[in-house]
Amino acid sequence: MSNRKPIRRALISVYDKSGLVELGAALAESGVEILSTGSTAKTLAAAGIPVTAVEDYTGFPEMMGGRVKTLHPRIHGGILADQNNPEHLAAIAAHDIAPFDLIVINLYPFAQTIAATDDFAECIEQIDIGGPSMLRGAAKNHGSVAVISNPSQYPFLLSSIAAGGFTLQERTRLAMETFRVTAEYDAAIATWLGEQLDVDGEWKAAIFHRIASLRYGENPHQKASVYSNATSWIQPGIAQAIQLHGKEMSFNNYTDADAAVRSAYDHTEPCVAIIKHANPCGIAIGMNIAAAYAKAHACDPVSAFGGVVATNRPVSLEMATALSEVFTEVVVAPSYEEGAVEVLAKKPSIRILTLAHFVNSAVERRPISGGLLIQESDLVNAPGDDASAWTQVSGGAVSAATLADLQFAWRAVRAVKSNAILLAHDGASVGVGMGQVNRVDSARLAVSRAGARAQGAVASSDAFFPFADGLQILIDAGVSAVVQPGGSVRDEEVIAAAVAAGIVMFFTSVRHFSHA
């Protein structure tokens, strides 16, 4: 005997009507009795498919603009009846209720509505009630009922009907997928209402869908996967990048590419960021993207080997030609000019990604053992991030070129792990000190990497100098101007060192400390 349960009676009520007519025709051809609601029933009937309207079956009309149509015992009794339970079968028989074998439901587009309008009443109307109730009831009763919650499942439905129905394992899988649909739907509603009431900080929910399994994590013994946020269609990120060429992305490729893209988009001018182990080994802006890449690569060519490159402009053929001469793990850009991909793809292993649209997320989440940290993202958009709001605490008149370099250095240091010191000249980093346990070591590292280029360069520090010693290292290397947050109890000592050296120093009153 077959372990497949045949489909004899179906209820269909869908907002998304793609594939509906084809589905209805196939069900009717297989001898399935179809009940349906509202516009779904009209669509099927208009196509010549036999269908019974729900109100004709229940004897109760749709009302309240369709809010009440399927919330009826003759519907839910047919959905929830355990067809292997004699008591259930007797109960529905006593009340003239016929059981369903198949439920096909998809929901009002709530998430799309809240993304498209601020009209509160319109959003509320797009909260589906009957749909989730029927989906959940059918999913609970998957021992008797198969439930379809997405048009993408229609081919599987039709192939299963042709095979004689669904197996219990298949119905269980469909039930699981349905509960995921309703969970995601409810999470979107609860999150949105919390935002409207300005109490969204009390509760957080996020749904992620696996895109792919990765070969391994940070190390070969660690399993890893990459997931997409369920709302990524609203605000895409590196997980939504499209790969045009190269080997599969690794865990480390994703983390570095994410850092690189964010670094590039910290700047409004054409910008290239080269990232290695989550830190920049070169960031630069230029008149065009090729010039920006040349300057970024010149910062630290040794570390750029095997790095991840991101741009905030299309990759030109000129940039692609230069980049193709350097071993690079990943390049990600909004697009590529004609011929650029072909030049880069001559290297079989380089991963070439496109990310057409990117906006830095307003919120950052960081897992910790037993919980989650959530904070506003550190975006370079505070009042103190603009040079016009800075306070000059030492030095004389500042040239436009120096001020522009200080502004660039301040925006670029945001991408460096603390303690962070970044030296810059002509819109490009020339030395970066990052991730040290004290600011003195970071200053030494930045100066060491800059070498002779430190002479006349400007410097930025992501947080204040707690003592004058870190600043003195920059002064001794020939740095001409410094921008830093200020706010140390020893600010006067630090200012005095700058005054004694005759260098320019600005306080921003905002910091860009990146701990991890």
Amino acid at 487: G
User: What one-character DSSP code corresponds to residue 221?
Assistant: T
CB 200: neighbour CB atoms within 10 A?
A: 15
**DSSP class per residue in 290-330:** HHHHHHHHHH-HHHHTTEEEEESSPBPHHHHHHHTTS-EEE
In angstroms, rounded to a whole number, what is the distance separating the alpha carbons of residues 48 and 24?
Answer: 10
Residues taking part in catalysis: 140, 277
293: tokens are 């890449």
**What dihedral do alpha carbons 126, 210, 306, 358 form, nearest 10°?**
0
Q: Which of 116, 113, 104, 110 is nearest to 20 (CA)?
A: 104
In angstroms, rounded to a whole number, what is the distance separating the alpha carbons of residues 36 and 51?
Answer: 7
* CB-based burial, 133-168: b 16+ in 10 Å, e otherwise: bbbbbbbbbbebbbbbbbbebbeebbebbeeebbbe
- For 28, 117, 155, 159, 177, the CA distances from 6, given in Å and listed in that order, are 14, 43, 16, 12, 21
Is residue 435 within a helix (H) or strand (E), and if so which, with residue range? none
**DSSP class per residue in 50-91:** --EEHHHHHS---BGGGTBSS-SHHHHHHHH--TT-HHHHHH
